[in-house]
């Protein structure tokens, strides 16, 4: 099983790991081997990639749950009270971070966050809950893609 932050930077911008899915990045934020659709907008791809690298440098071990907390905190999804699901839904849904208005990603984001948050509970800092939420969410994104190709993920 791969973690979506494993080996980030090792493969340049060619590979990212989302949950248990290893997906090739084609032309930046497009993951066409697994899902022939753009997941992140161009701007979000650059910003999020930079956060992953920053959080990996700050936390060292790429298997650390603290990397996930760091990314969430920098995106505004995590505060002293734990995971902020309202902020997460707002940023990923109505904002322009993921997908275009009214596409399949926008219509499923709130449902996927709700489904994944049930298992994550409060998401204490550096807990496995934060990592599990991340993996659950990305699994739902890719498996709900209309062009999902499990053999290539």
Residue pLDDT, tens place only, 92-138: 876 666 767 777 887 888 899 999 988 777 677 888 888 888 888 88
The whole model's pTM is what? 0.72
DSSP 8-state assignment for residue 152: G
Residue ranges covered by each domain of the chain: 15-152
> What's the mean per-residue pLDDT of the chain?
73
- B/e letters for 107-135, b = 16+ CB within 10 Å, e = fewer, are ebbbebbeebbeebeebeebbebbbbbbb
What pLDDT shows up at residue 114? 92
- At which residue do the structure tokens 């994550």 appear? 120
122 and 133 in contact (C-beta within 8 Å)? no
DSSP class per residue in 127-150: -HHHHHHHHHHHHHHHHTSTT--G
Give the CATH number of domain 15-152; options: 1.10.340.30, 1.10.238.20, 3.40.640.10, 3.30.70.20. 1.10.238.20
Q: Is 7 helix (H, G, I), strand (E, B) or coil?
A: coil
The predicted structure's pLDDT at residue 22: 39
pLDDT tens profile 40-57: 766 777 777 788 889 989
Counting Cβ atoms within 10 Å, is residue 151 exposed (0-12), middle (13-18) or buried (19+)?
Answer: exposed
Cβ contact 88:113 at 8 Å? yes
pLDDT of the residue at 115:
92
């Amino acid at each position: 099983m791969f973690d979506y932050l494993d080996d980030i930077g090792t493969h340049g911008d060619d590979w990212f790991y989302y949950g248990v899915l290893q997906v090739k990045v084609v032309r930046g934020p497009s993951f066409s081997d697994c899902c022939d659709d753009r997941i992140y907008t161009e701007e979000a791809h650059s910003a999020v990639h930079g956060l992953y690298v920053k959080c990996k440098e700050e936390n060292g071990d790429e298997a650390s749950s603290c990397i996930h907390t760091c990314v969430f905190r920098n995106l505004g999804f995590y505060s002293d009270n734990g995971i902020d699901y309202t902020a997460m839904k707002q940023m990923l849904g109505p904002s322009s971070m993921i997908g275009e208005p009214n596409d399949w990603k926008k219509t499923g984001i709130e449902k996927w966050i709700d489904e994944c948050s049930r298992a994550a509970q409060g998401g204490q800092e550096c807990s496995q809950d934060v990592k599990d939420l991340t993996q659950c969410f990305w699994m739902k994104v890719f498996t709900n893609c209309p062009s999902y190709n499990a053999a290539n993920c």
